[in-house]
Amino acid sequence: MTSQSSFFPVFSRTLHLNAKSLEDIDSLGLTPQLEQMTKAFGSIPDEKIRYKQLLYMANQLKPMDPNLMTPENKVPGCLSTVYVECIPEKKMNDETGEEVTVMTYVGDSDGLLTKGLVALLIRGLSGCTPEQIQKVSPEFISVAKITQSLTPGRNNGFLNMLAVMKNKASKYIVTTDGLDDDDDDDDDGRDDKSLVSSSSSQEDEKESSSSSSGDDVTQQDDAIITSFEEKPGKPMYNEMMSSLLKLKPTQLLLEDNSDQHAGHAGSKGWEESGESHFQLTIVADAFEGLSLVKRHQLIYLVLGDTMQKIHALQIHAKAPSEV
Which 8-state DSSP code applies to residue 259?
G
Helices (H) and strands (E) in the chain, counts: 11, 7
Helix pair angle (47-60, 112-125), 10° resolution: 80
Instruction: Name the maximum alpha-carbon separation found in the chain.
Output: 68
Q: Are the beta carbons of 31 and 97 closer than 8 angstroms?
A: no
78 catalytically annotated: yes
Of the residues 30, 78, 146, 163, only one is catalytic, namely 78
Closest by Cα among 43, 166, 141, 304 to 8: 43
Distance between CA 70 and CA 72 in Å, rounded? Answer: 5
Q: Interhelix angle for 235-244 vs 292-303, to 10°?
A: 120
251-256 vs 277-283, strand pairing mode: antiparallel
> How far is the CA of 284 from the CAs of 207, 252, 280, 321, in angstroms?
15, 9, 13, 10
Active site residues per annotation: 78
